[in-house]
Each structure stands twice: as C-alpha cells, then as structure tokens.
Amino acid sequence: MRLLITGVSGLLGINLALETKRMHDVIGVDRGKLKSAPFRVLHANLLRSGSINSILDSTQPAWFINCAAMANLEECERDPNQARILNAEIPAEMADACAKRNIKFVHLSTDAVFDGTKDGAYSEDEAPNPLGVYAQTKLEGERAVLSANPQAIVARVNFFGWSLGGRRSLGEFFVNNLSEGKNVNGFTDVIFCPMWVNHLSQGLIAMIEKDLRGLYHVVGAQAMSKYQFGVEVARKFGLRESLIEPQSVERSSLTAPRSHNLWLSVHKLSTDLGGEIPAFSTGLDGFYTQFQQGYPQKIRGYQQ
C-alpha cells in the first residue's frame, strides 16, 4: 500500500516512515529538513493554499497519516492563531480531501485534551476539558476531522523515541542529561502512559488494516509518573537515577498549563485490535537496543 505521512521529520513521522517502509510504499511530506532519507520525500508547505489537494493528487496514496502539528505547548500559548491553523483547520481540510478521494485518513491527537482532575483512567467517551491552547486546538482538530470524515481514525497519543534533532522526546531528555552527569527534575505529579514510538507506528498500521474508525486512545498500557519514567530509563541505560530530583510540575518554570493525570484507558483499542498493548518494559528495551545499535546517529544523518 502507498502511505503518505505529513510531518515526516518529526519524532513520530520519521520513526513511522522507517518502521513501515519495508512493507509499504512510503512518501513523506517535509518542509525541507530531510536531505537523504531512505524513502521518497516531498518538500511542501501545508500552509499554502491548495497544497493538500495537490499533494494527494500527485501521490495518490491509499493511506494518509497526519503527523504534522504545532506541538510545543509554550509556542502555542504565544501564537494561538497559528496553533489553530496547524492543529485544527489544516487537519479538517485533510480529512475532507481524503473523504472525497476514498483515502483512509489517520489524525494524531493528544492525551492532553483532559484536565487531569479524575482519579483513574479516562475512556474515549469521557468529556475532554483542555487546559491550554495546544490541547484546545488539538481537541478542535479531533472534532473537525471526524465531522468532515466519519471514517477517519483519530488517535490520542503519548510516545517516546529517538528524533532527528535528538531533543524531541522525554526519553531523549533523560538519556542526554543523565549521560552528561546533569541533575534534572522528574515530575512526581504528572501521570501519563508512554508508548515507544515504534510500537505506536505498528499500532497505527494495524488499526488501518483492521479498518477501524473513530476515536481511540493509542498510548502505553502502563501509567506512571514522569519521575518514574526517568528512573526506569536511567536503570535501563545504566545511568545515575540519583541525578533525577523528584519535583512537582507546579514548581517548574513551564508556563503553559499542564494536566496532572493523563492516564488513558486502552481497553477499546486492545479489544478492537484483538490483542494486548505492548508492555512499557518491551518498548524501553527497544529504545535501548536502538541506542546500542547507533540508531540515533543514523537518523540524524538523514538531514545531511
């Protein structure tokens, strides 16, 4: 199958492309960062009028996964209009264009649409209450996509892995800083469900192949604090977990509002896929194996 991926130079985009190119004809869309990727890349500006129709007509994919977004929470607070365009308006345009062409469309959303005040896990049918501009615009994107294209998949995600720049995921943050002997903070009061980006990539393809549609939580099966996540990474990589300072997110220098509980239930996903969601420890093993094999350096070379 031909798979089109927008935002292909991002953390999910690049790993999704590399994970799936063995089985599918992958075409990535990028603003110009990728110079020598081992798959076809189109350089395009999604903000330009008519670009989405032009890309779809020239590539004619069977599947389209949109990984493009304005994902930096602080940047979204500073420029809410741009965040709305990238996180809601353009995805709606993509969904509509795919519906008209009978292309299976997958849009990536976020666990941050919830305010985090609940005890326990959130299911897909619970009402979101986004706290900041990023989460608000992503929720608008979810609703706009499903309104324009009810056959689409909207996946709320939270993932870690290796990125082109080496600084996009929480896993990289802990590895980079602890490797240099630096003290870092680990939030004890932010609960989330991290999933290794390769497991996420495999899951998204499985969802398309099963012809799923609608809203899904596509996150890790295990909920943990960001402090605990850091400790697990430190132990796996043989780094000093004592360098991680337990701290409340309320005492940090971050300005955008953040939810304390982003524990999402994956019951619907595991039921509809007919299998268990991969364990966090398995994903962490994969993340570490990539490190040992020089994968982070390899993908950075695609920018040369």
CA 304 from chain centre, in angstroms, equals 24
Structure tokens at 72: 């930096």
Over 90: is that where the pLDDT of 254 sits? no
Q: For residues 27-64, b (16+ Cβ closer than 10 Å) or e, as one string?
A: bbbbeebbeebebebbebebeeeebbeebbeebebebb
pLDDT, position 304: 65
Q: What is the pLDDT of residue 42?
A: 94
pLDDT tens per residue across span 174-219: 999 999 999 999 999 999 999 999 999 999 999 999 999 999 999 9
User: To which CATH superfamily is domain 2-303 assigned?
Assistant: NAD(P)-binding Rossmann-like Domain (3.40.50.720)
Phi, psi dihedral angles at 249 (to 5 degrees): -65, -25
The SS3 call for residue 274 is coil
- Percentage of the chain beyond pLDDT 70 is 99
Helix (H) or strand (E) holding 80: helix 80-84
Q: Residues 85-125: pLDDT tens digits? A: 999 999 999 999 999 999 999 999 999 999 999 989 999 99
Whole-angstrom distance, CA of residue 204 vs CA of residue 296? 22
Quick one: pLDDT band at residue 259, thresholds 50, 70, 90? confident
pLDDT of 73 > 90? The answer is no
Taking residues 236-265, what's their average pLDDT? 88
- Rounded CA Rg of the chain: 18
Q: What is the mean pLDDT of residues 63-69?
A: 96
For residue range 158-176, what is the model confidence (pLDDT) as tens digits?
Answer: 999 999 998 889 999 999 9
Bridge-based pairing of strands 63-66 and 104-110 is: parallel
Per-residue pLDDT, 31: 86
Q: What is the pLDDT of residues 232-244, one digit of tens each?
A: 999 999 999 999 9
In which band, very low, low, confident or very high, does the pLDDT at 266 lie, cut at 50, 70 and 90?
A: very high
Q: What is the number of other CB atoms lying within 10 angstroms of the CB of residue 8? A: 31
Alpha-carbon gap, residue 24 to 242, rounded angstroms: 44
Look at residue 169 in the predicted model and tell me its pLDDT: 94
